[in-house]
Amino acid sequence: MFGPSSQQEGDIGESIQDNGTPRVDPGASASERTGTHIGASSNIEDIQDDLHYSIQVYNKLMADEISADTVCSNRILETVQQKLLNHISTMSGYATARLWLQYMEMINLLRMFRTENWLLHLNTLQDMLPNFAAAGHNLYAKSANIYLQQMLKLETDNPDVFTDFTTGYTLFDAVIGSGLDFHLTW
């Protein structure tokens, strides 16, 4: 439930309050509801309202009360993302904040790399190339670049292996199926 009225999956922003008056679009950010624009004096109440509504949308998604497509089409995600990016750009002016932001970016890269999503694996590897070069790991950068080029051609060169990788079959799965201890893959 969003507020006092119950809503169906497709009508997140078109509900009626208990008193019969039309409800303001909850998908709109607080700044959109008040007529201000993102970046123009978005105060803490606006951000808290947006985050509170985002949590409600997330909880409904986790409870399977709304679909992922409905959530993705909701403007609140774009609004919160834009406010987050604005805050990050503001904070990147400070040395300590830049360090923490860089750390968070690297942790996100590692998380993405560890999923069994083949295309995300390749995308993450491409995002890691500048980090290899900046850290002075030239051989890693060179090898990763060659590996990335070969794997991007895998769909045409070896479609069976590409299909296996995109459906989630990985080396880790092969090792588990062989009866070997999985610690040998690390």
Q: What pLDDT score does 43 carry?
A: 64
- Reply yes or no on whether the pLDDT at 139 is more than 80: yes
Does residue 126 fall inside a structural domain? Answer: no
pLDDT greater than 50 at residue 12 = no
- pTM of the full predicted structure? 0.49
Structural domains of the chain, count: 1
The predicted structure's pLDDT at residue 161: 87
Q: Tens digit of pLDDT for each residue in 31-56? A: 444 444 444 345 677 778 888 888 99
Could you list the residue range(s) of the whole structural domain that residue 74 is in? Answer: 1-91
Tokens of 84: 């987050």
Confidence (pLDDT) at 174 = 52
Q: How confident is the model at residue 171 (pLDDT cuts 50, 70, 90)?
A: low
DSSP for 6-65, please give it.
Answer: ---TT-TT--B-TTSSBPP-TTS-HHHHHT--TTSS--HHHHHHHHHHHHHHHHHHHTTS
Count CA atoms within 13 Å of residue 169 on its CB side: 8
Give the best-scoring range by mean pLDDT among 4-18, 32-46, 56-70, 139-153.
139-153
- Does residue 137 lie within any of the structural domains? no
Domain membership flag for residue 86:
yes
Flag whether 119 is in a domain: no
The residue among 66, 27, 34 whose CA lies nearest residue 50 is: 27
Measured distance CA(131)–CA(149) in Å, rounded: 18
Q: What is the pLDDT of residue 179?
A: 54
In a domain? residue 116: no
Q: Is 149 a domain residue?
A: no
Has residue 175 been placed in a domain? Answer: no
Q: 133 in a domain, yes or no?
A: no
